Amino acid sequence: MASTHLPTSLYKYLALFLFLLLLLPFLVDARAPGRMNAIDQCWRRDPKWAANRQRLAVCSVGFSGKMNQNRGRDLTTYLVIDPSDDPVNPRPGTLRYGATLLPGKVWITFSRDMQIKLVRPLVVKSFTTIDGRGADVHIAYGAGFLLYEVESVIIHGLQFHHIRSKPPGPVMEPEGELTHMAGVDGDAIRLVATSKVWIDHNTLYACEDGLLDVTRGSTGITVSNNWFRDHDKVMLLGHDDDYLEDRRMSVTVAFNRFGPNCQQRMPRIRHGYAHLVNNLYDGWGEYAIGGTMNPSVRSEGNLFIASGSSNKKVTLRMVGEGGGTSWNWQSVNDAFLNGAFFRQAGSPVAAPRYNRRQVFPVARPADVRSLTSNAGALRCSTGGRC
């Protein structure tokens, strides 16, 4: 009778195969952080992120620095259960009540998927976190967010679209003051004289004016992991040519996806310093990066992909109304596809003077597709990794 025993070497190979099969999920999990950027590595691996929401505050990088001041024992957690909006008498349970009227540090979450149509701009107070993780939250078909002379704000995990201009009218401000607000242009998010703000993992598109404006001396801003698409004038950094206070502006724009179907202002910069790092530019119309009034722009490790019908030139140098015909821009280890090219000009731009709580590793352009693959509002389940 023929022997039914397998050769010893075959047993060894079979045992090794079974061992690797059992180990595969752990190997995949261990490699996952390499496909994430520095911010996402900080919190997205945790399957209990919903129970540890405040960890997000220590994950920011760039000029905003860490947002530790938004967490702690003296924090009020607030749940939005009502998508309605009353700008004059905000009701408990609505977003406006939590973002404008609650004192001290406030961490806002949402009970379920919802669409919020703001009657007037939402005036967000200092030390406020608006955290959309775990729900599909749309700020749409009404007004947008206004951050006016505040500090320490996180806006995370929301979708902004079809924001409309609004006429003058009454609105409740922080500290419970009712004011008559001037008309607004239809920006999704506007920062005015504001500092230490982190805008992360939002999806923004199809608004009447800009998707994000950083103006009137605002500084210490990080814009990361957002998806900007289907829009004309995307991002403005600097109020106007004559507003010299914007010379102190410092903004980090990292790990974002621009496009498809974005025309210009990714961003447009006046006066200050912008570090544009590891972003994906998926086509543009008139230009991708433009500016006036001598801004310093360091474009580093970005991937620029010109579309077939787009202007191949990444940059547009404009002459400001108040002079300022020079612009210091520098491309450092960027990558260009489909004929895209970057015109450097002016003096060499120094690397950002990040402190140890702001600094983060800059990846190769070859890794930008994966680093930005989850840009925009994440669809997170409270029972697993986000």
- Residue 146 within a domain: yes
- Residue 349 within a domain: yes
The per-residue pLDDT string of the chain (386 residues; one tens digit each, 9 = 90 and over) reads 444 454 555 545 554 544 444 333 333 333 334 489 999 999 999 999 999 999 999 999 999 999 999 999 999 999 999 999 999 999 999 999 999 999 999 999 999 999 999 999 999 999 999 999 999 999 999 999 999 999 999 999 999 999 999 999 999 999 899 999 999 999 999 999 999 999 999 999 999 999 999 999 999 999 999 999 999 999 999 988 887 898 899 999 999 999 999 999 999 999 899 999 999 999 999 999 999 888 999 999 999 999 986 689 999 988 765 555 567 899 999 999 999 999 998 888 999 999 999 999 999 999 999 999 999 999 998 888 89
Q: Which residues on adjacent β-strands are paired with residue 143? A: 118
- Residue 314 within a domain: yes
- Of the candidates 127, 109, 110, 108, the one whose C-alpha atom is nearest the C-alpha of residue 67 is 127
Residue 240 · residue 261 · CB < 8 Å = no
**How many domains does one find in the chain?**
1
> Residue 123 belongs to what H/E stretch?
strand 122-123
* Predicted local distance difference test score (pLDDT) of residue 1: 43
Who contacts 129 (Cβ-Cβ below 8 Å, separation ≥6)?
56, 57, 67, 70, 106, 107, 108, 153, 154, 156
Residue 318 · residue 290 · CB < 8 Å = yes
Give the C-alpha separation, 229 to 186, whole Å.
16
Q: Which two tokens stand for residue 300?
A: 């580093």
Q: Which two tokens stand for residue 362?
A: 């800059």
* Predicted local distance difference test score (pLDDT) of residue 248: 95
* Predicted local distance difference test score (pLDDT) of residue 18: 44
* Predicted local distance difference test score (pLDDT) of residue 111: 98
- Residue 354 within a domain: yes
Q: Which two tokens stand for residue 268?
A: 């447009």
Q: Which residues form the catalytic set?
A: 265
Q: What is the DSSP track for 152-213? A: EEEEES-EEES---B-SEEEEEGGGEEEEEPPB---SEEEES-EEEEEES-EEE--SS-SEE
Who contacts 255 (Cβ-Cβ below 8 Å, separation ≥6)?
37, 39, 224, 225, 277, 278, 279, 371, 372, 375
Give the C-alpha separation, 157 to 111, whole Å.
14
Residue 317 · residue 343 · CB < 8 Å = yes
Who contacts 125 (Cβ-Cβ below 8 Å, separation ≥6)?
99, 100, 102, 106, 150, 174
- Residue 114 within a domain: yes
Q: Say if residue 92 is preceded by a cis peptide, omega within 30 of 0.
A: no
* Predicted local distance difference test score (pLDDT) of residue 68: 96
Give the C-alpha separation, 250 to 195, whole Å.
10
* Predicted local distance difference test score (pLDDT) of residue 29: 34
Q: Which residues on adjacent β-strands are paired with residue 119? A: none
Q: What is the DSSP track for 220-236? A: EEEEES-EEESEEE-EE
pTM: 0.90
Give the C-alpha separation, 266 to 149, whole Å.
24
Phi/psi of residue 129, each to 5°? -115, 125
Enclosing domain of residue 215: 61-371
* Predicted local distance difference test score (pLDDT) of residue 30: 31
Who contacts 87 (Cβ-Cβ below 8 Å, separation ≥6)?
96, 118, 119, 120, 169, 170, 171, 172
* Predicted local distance difference test score (pLDDT) of residue 311: 85
* Predicted local distance difference test score (pLDDT) of residue 321: 58
- Residue 17 within a domain: no
CA angle 218, 179, 203 (to 5 degrees): 45
* Predicted local distance difference test score (pLDDT) of residue 8: 55
- Of the candidates 206, 253, 255, the one whose C-alpha atom is nearest the C-alpha of residue 234 is 206
- CATH number, position 285: 2.160.20.10
- Residue 26 within a domain: no
- Of the candidates 376, 381, 11, the one whose C-alpha atom is nearest the C-alpha of residue 161 is 376
Residue with tokens 């996402």: 40
Q: Which residues on adjacent β-strands are paired with residue 66? A: none
CA end-to-end span of the chain: 58
- Residue 144 within a domain: yes
